[in-house]
């Protein structure tokens, strides 16, 4: 209970801190709009040459794009800032301070930062998904909507675990400035349904970097093509990954010798 209260308090402080900088909102809107425009142009270009891509129609692919934008917003708002702060704190010797607090350290390093304006992408992604659904006929069942929300939550948990695994690596490899670029690059694979990639790559972005679970699976739910076994697999994998991440984090902490006096 205390843990939850501390987490919420940290989030509130983060939100208030970020809300001071209002110009950033306008900049974020512009940046998101440009990214969306580029994505839409590429989709238009693809479908000017083919009628469907690997069984996905243009509107269905729009749902994939929307899901990818939404999930990207979640990551950059809540997950990535915390993980980058963790790697910087390790490098600069500030993590010791966080470790002395009488709450769970993993929780604490996961809630200290929030970049509110990234929520623009969450709203934009949801809008794109809505447009896609309207174009698809708009008969989304309650079950599909529920499956979408659940799949999205599992996906967010898996990407959080993935980020924490990487950031824990900073206990051994100190220079981690490349993480956002690396993740952003790989995360772009989510713009396309995972089925179009060759087998080795499909495996990689399903189980090594869980992008397929985070983007394709929710998009499948919202376009009524999800099988319940997939959702079950996502649940199992999310639980296993979370347990592993927790173990790895503790293992890393045991190896951490501290850098400050």
Partner 1 sequence: MSATPATSSLPQENRLRSLVDFYVTTMRTAVQQQFQYRAATYMYLVGMVAEPVIYLVVWSTIADQSGGTVGGLSAGEFAAYYIVWTLVRTMNIVFTPYGWESRIREGELSGQLLRPLHPIHYDLAWFAGGKIPWVLFYLPIAVVLTLVFNPTFDVRPLEVVVFGVAVWGAYLIRTFNQTALGLICFWTTRVGALFQLYIALELLLSGRLVPLTLFPEWVQTVAWFLPFRWTFYFPIQTLVGDLTNAELLGGLAMQVFWTVVGIGVFSLVWRHAIKRYTAVGN
**Interacting residue ranges for partner 1, rule: CB under 8 A:** 23, 27, 30-31, 34-35, 37-38, 41-42, 45-46, 49-50, 53-54, 173, 175-179, 181-186, 188-189, 191-192, 196-198, 201
Q: Which is nearer to partner 1, 67 or 189 (CB)?
A: 189
Q: Which is nearer to partner 1, 197 or 242 (CB)?
A: 197
Taking the CB of residue 54, how many other CB atoms lie within 10 A of it?
12
Q: Which is nearer to partner 1, 35 or 103 (CB)?
A: 35
Helices 58-74, 142-168: axis angle to 10 degrees equals 50
Q: Which is nearer to partner 1, 197 or 256 (CB)?
A: 197
Q: Which is nearer to partner 1, 3 or 38 (CB)?
A: 38
**Least CB distance to partner 1 at residue 52 (A):** 8
**Least CB distance to partner 1 at residue 7 (A):** 30
Collect contacts of 255-261 with beta carbons under 8 A, ≥24 apart. 255/171, 255/172, 256/90, 256/95, 256/171, 258/93, 258/95, 258/96, 259/90, 259/91, 259/92, 259/93, 259/95, 259/96, 260/93, 260/94, 260/96, 260/97
**Least CB distance to partner 1 at residue 107 (A):** 27
| Residue at token pair 């010798």 | 257
Length of the chain: 261
Q: Which is nearer to partner 1, 31 or 106 (CB)?
A: 31
**Least CB distance to partner 1 at residue 205 (A):** 10
**Least CB distance to partner 1 at residue 31 (A):** 5
**Least CB distance to partner 1 at residue 37 (A):** 7
Nearest 10 degrees: Cα torsion 129, 152, 15, 163 = -120
Identify whether the C-beta of residue 43 lies closer than 8 Å to the C-beta of residue 61: yes
């Amino acid at each position: 209970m205390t843990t939850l209260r501390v987490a919420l308090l940290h989030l509130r402080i983060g939100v208030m801190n970020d809300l001071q900088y209002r110009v950033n909102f306008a900049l974020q809107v512009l940046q998101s709009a440009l990214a969306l425009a580029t994505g839409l142009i590429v989709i238009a270009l693809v479908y000017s040459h083919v009628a469907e891509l690997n069984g996905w129609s243009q509107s269905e692919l729009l749902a994939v794009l929307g899901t990818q934008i939404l999930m990207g917003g979640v990551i950059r708002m809540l997950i990535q800032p915390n993980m980058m702060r963790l790697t910087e704190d390790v490098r600069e010797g500030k993590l010791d301070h966080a470790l002395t607090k009488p709450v769970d350290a993993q929780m604490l390093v996961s809630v200290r930062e929030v970049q509110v304006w990234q929520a623009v992408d969450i709203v934009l992604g949801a809008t794109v998904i809505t447009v896609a659904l309207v174009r698809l006929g708009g008969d989304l069942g309650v079950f599909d909507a529920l499956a979408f929300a659940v799949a999205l939550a599992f996906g967010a948990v898996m990407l959080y675990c993935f980020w924490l695994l990487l950031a824990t690596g900073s206990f051994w490899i100190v220079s981690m400035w490349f993480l956002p670029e690396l993740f952003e690059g790989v995360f772009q694979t989510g713009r396309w349904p995972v089925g179009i990639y060759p087998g080795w790559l499909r495996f990689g972005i399903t189980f090594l970097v869980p992008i397929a679970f985070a983007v394709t699976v929710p998009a499948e739910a919202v376009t009524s093509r999800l099988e319940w076994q997939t959702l079950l697999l996502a649940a199992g994998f999310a639980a296993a990954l979370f347990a592993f991440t927790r173990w790895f984090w503790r293992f890393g902490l045991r190896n951490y010798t501290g850098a400050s006096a």
